[in-house]
Amino acid sequence: MTSPHQSAEQLLERASAWWSTAIIDIRPGVIRPRGRPIEQLIGTTSYAEMVWLMLRGEPPRPGQAALLEAALVAAVDHGPQAPSIAVARMAASCGLPLNGAMASAINTLDDVHGGAGEQCLALYWRALELAQDGDLAQGARQALQEQRAERGRIVPGFGHRFHPVDPRSGPLLGLTEAAARHGDADGRFVVLGRAMEQALAALTGKALPMNIDGATAVVYGALGFPPPLARGLFILSRSVGILAHAWEQSQQGQRIKGPMPPDIVYRYTGR
């Protein structure tokens, strides 16, 4: 409890110290994200550059910003069959406003749907730890063996139930390689991703190409983001698709359009 004998200055100091942040300075007439006047950022800073600035505390180099933007673009949407998009559309059809539909959808982006990028990047980091004398292929094989021993057959970031080859992975890997050649990214993550893809094929006897989660994990790792931010950045990206689908559904005028057509009967397994 505050003592009545404390001075106004002490009370003010206690109040101002309740929250501390290096992210933004707000005062009357002043808005300074990471110490930079907002009026100087408006019109000169892209959205991807702003994301980097807010998370990292300094602006990215042009090559870093371009690679981050490519990853954000790649994961924007994957159709109504994706759980988060389906939830957004169902929520909108039930009458929720855009914020409610978006919140409902974003809350489905957990470990099973939305978490594979974070999990894959953690796997890449583990492979770096295990790589002896810089042998990334050896580190990839060992990390993959650990992962399968602990979590079973599913390896996050590889294989896709819909695409034999994910059309988003190749361009992202190529852009990461180009950024690495210019000193804007850590090229080891491309090597790790491809080595893990090869090791997985050798282990399972079938091709399991890198999917969008594996490719964006390469990008975010190469740009120096830790694994939890891989999920956060994926959520930023997918939120665009969520917004678009929620808005479209709200304009179609259909109410309570559930997960399947009304003439499709689900399977009852009781007695």
State the CATH number of the domain containing residue 159. Answer: 1.10.230.10
Q: Does the residue 220 lie in any domain?
A: yes
Q: How confident is the model at residue 73 (pLDDT cuts 50, 70, 90)?
A: very high
| Domain extent for 117 | 112-233
Neighbours of 25 (CB within 10 A): 14
**pLDDT digits over 195-247, tens only?**
999 999 988 888 889 999 999 999 999 999 999 999 999 999 999 999 999 99
What does pTM read for this prediction? Answer: 0.91
Q: Does the residue 123 lie in any domain?
A: yes
Q: Does the residue 99 lie in any domain?
A: no
Q: Does the residue 183 lie in any domain?
A: yes
Number of compact structural domains in the chain:
1
Name the most confidently modeled range: 32-41, 162-171, 261-270: 32-41
Q: Does the residue 254 lie in any domain?
A: no
**pLDDT digits over 166-198, tens only?**
899 999 999 999 999 999 999 999 999 999 999
- Helix H, strand E, coil C: the string for 23-85 is CEEEECCEEEECCCCHHHHCCCCCHHHHHHHHHHCCCCCHHHHHHHHHHHHHCCCCCCCCHHH
Q: Does the residue 145 lie in any domain?
A: yes
Q: Does the residue 168 lie in any domain?
A: yes
Q: Does the residue 117 lie in any domain?
A: yes
